Amino acid sequence: MSYYQPEPKYEHGDPPRIGIILANLGTPDAPNKKSVKKYLGQFLMDKRVVEIPRFIWCWILHCIILVFRPSASAKKYQQIWTKQGSPLLVNASKQATLLQKQLMKDFKEPIEVSLGMSYGNPSMKNAFEILKNKNCTKIILLPLYPQYAASSSASAMDSLWRVLLRSRNVPAIRTIRNYHDHPAYINALKESVINFWKVNGRPTKLVMSFHGIPKRSLMQGDPYHCECHKTGRLLAESLGLMSEEYLVCFQSRFGKAEWLKPYFADTIKKLGIEKEKNIHVICPGFSSDCLETLEEINMEGKAIFKEHGGGKYQYIPALNDNPIWIKSMSEILRSHLGGWVDDQWSKTKEKKSTLATKKQYEKINKNI
């Protein structure tokens, strides 16, 4: 048996295509203990996510975490699960479909889009194979993480590299490392906030909460912390906010080690104690709403704030399938498609190239 995966059927003259892989974290297949345990096992065994030595971590993971955590996590997933399935997967699937349509408007040359998750389904392998079957000889990986972190962006890259290791005919690959300060991304955030304020009014404080990472990662050179703060500053500037009108914090602390501060839960508690009248919370590091935003931020955060005397609390949804975000993704991709997209492409031009290739093949084949 060959080490490499079988290549898709190919005929000389098949037009080459450009492919885009939208990459996200992943989600359990169902909101039950079995599915959550499988998903967490994949996620927490990634060395990018947990850097504890394997011989120690495997014991902790399989004897403690995967024994107790799946049931509790499953209950949380059940609170936010929709009729269509996991919110993250539903939103990401819509993004892929809408981006495909947007690229058709913005570029003459056909560009294919596929969705791949670092963990769970649809897998990165599945996303790659879909594009290979469409004869995509050039592929851009777009991790849906605006701010680069080794545990998210690099993990998505690793998922693709593992697939490429088993591929005989490797396409040209480009990766988008980050877009935390891209004007199109900042503008999409700004417009989503403004549109929310038009309906719900302005808050007394805008809380920007980003996913947390261990402080140790920052000390070892991960740029995530700096990129989150730059996003926060640029968004505040675009909204015309004064320094006292917004703050940046970090959520989803895991384990006992120190993580990036200030912690979201502590921040919300403090604002409640201070009797803050009206806060809005936004998560600029999430392109799609998921367990963290819908349960931890919108439910747990609100409960903490109210419990400690806070006033009005509202969550500003992630960009999801917002048309301005779909357009922004296309703009972000444009700067990475240089030299790949043919601005003079046409069906007639492609047909001529296809016929020329077929004729050349037939001529060469006669002499073999």
CATH assignment of the domain containing 71: 3.40.50.1400
171-194 pLDDT per residue, tens: 999 999 999 999 999 999 999 999
Instruction: Summarize the confidence of residues 200-214 as an average pLDDT.
Output: 96
Q: Is the pLDDT of residue 365 over 80?
A: no
Query: Which of 301, 316, 331 corresponds to the end of one domain?
Result: 316
Residue 1 domain-assigned (yes or no): no
User: Token pair of 87, please?
Assistant: 């919110």
What is the 8-class DSSP label of residue 81?
A: -
Looking at residue 149, its amino acid is A
Q: Is the pLDDT of residue 86 over 70?
A: yes
Examine the domain organization and report whether 93 and 200 are in the same domain. no
Q: Is the pLDDT of residue 23 over 70?
A: yes
pLDDT confidence band for 339 (50 / 70 / 90): very high
Examine the domain organization and report whether 22 and 156 are in the same domain. yes
Examine the domain organization and report whether 153 and 196 are in the same domain. no
Q: The tokens 């903490």 sit on which residue?
A: 304
Q: What angle do CA 270, 274, 276 make, to 5 degrees?
A: 100
User: What is the per-residue pLDDT for 41?
Assistant: 93
Domain count for the chain: 2
- The CA distance from 209 to 198, in Å, is 21
Q: Is the pLDDT of residue 256 over 90?
A: no
- The CA distance from 288 to 281, in Å, is 15
Instruction: Summarize the confidence of residues 277-300 as an average pLDDT.
Output: 96
262-283 pLDDT per residue, tens: 999 999 999 999 999 999 999 9
Examine the domain organization and report whether 291 and 215 are in the same domain. yes
Q: Is the pLDDT of residue 118 over 90?
A: yes
Hey, how many other C-beta atoms are within 10 angstroms of the C-beta on 343? 7
Q: Is the pLDDT of residue 207 over 70?
A: yes
Q: Output the average pLDDT for the chain.
A: 94
User: Token pair of 128, please?
Assistant: 């790659």
36-73 pLDDT per residue, tens: 999 999 999 999 998 888 889 999 989 999 999 999 99
Examine the domain organization and report whether 54 and 172 are in the same domain. yes
Q: The tokens 């989600």 sit on which residue?
A: 27
Examine the domain organization and report whether 202 and 264 are in the same domain. yes
Examine the domain organization and report whether 127 and 240 are in the same domain. no
User: What is the per-residue pLDDT for 21?
Assistant: 98
Percent of the chain residues topping a pLDDT of 70: 99
Q: Is the pLDDT of residue 242 over 80?
A: yes
- Contact of 182 with 176, CB cutoff 8 Å: no
Examine the domain organization and report whether 326 and 293 are in the same domain. no
330: Cα within 13 Å, side-chain hemisphere: 21
Which domain range does residue 278 map to? Answer: 183-316
340: Cα within 13 Å, side-chain hemisphere: 23
Q: Is the pLDDT of residue 87 over 90?
A: yes
Residue 8 domain-assigned (yes or no): no
User: What is the per-residue pLDDT for 12?
Assistant: 81
Instruction: Summarize the confidence of residues 18-23 as an average pLDDT.
Output: 98
Q: Where are the alpha helices (DSSP H) in the chain?
A: 33-44, 54-60, 66-80, 87-106, 124-133, 153-165, 183-200, 215-219, 224-239, 264-273, 291, 302-307, 323-334, 347-366
Q: What is the DSSP string of 135-187?
A: TEEEEEEEES-SS--TTTHHHHHHHHHHHHHTBSSPPEEEE----TT-HHHHH
Examine the domain organization and report whether 174 and 238 are in the same domain. no
Angle between helices 124-133 and 153-165 (to 10 degrees): 60
Residue 293 domain-assigned (yes or no): yes
Examine the domain organization and report whether 301 and 335 are in the same domain. no
For residue 115, what are the β-bridge partners? 22
User: What is the per-residue pLDDT for 138?
Assistant: 98
Q: Is the pLDDT of residue 357 over 90?
A: no
User: What is the per-residue pLDDT for 367?
Assistant: 66
User: What is the per-residue pLDDT for 14?
Assistant: 85
- Contact of 318 with 287, CB cutoff 8 Å: yes
Examine the domain organization and report whether 112 and 240 are in the same domain. no
29-38 pLDDT per residue, tens: 999 999 999 9
User: What is the per-residue pLDDT for 56?
Assistant: 92
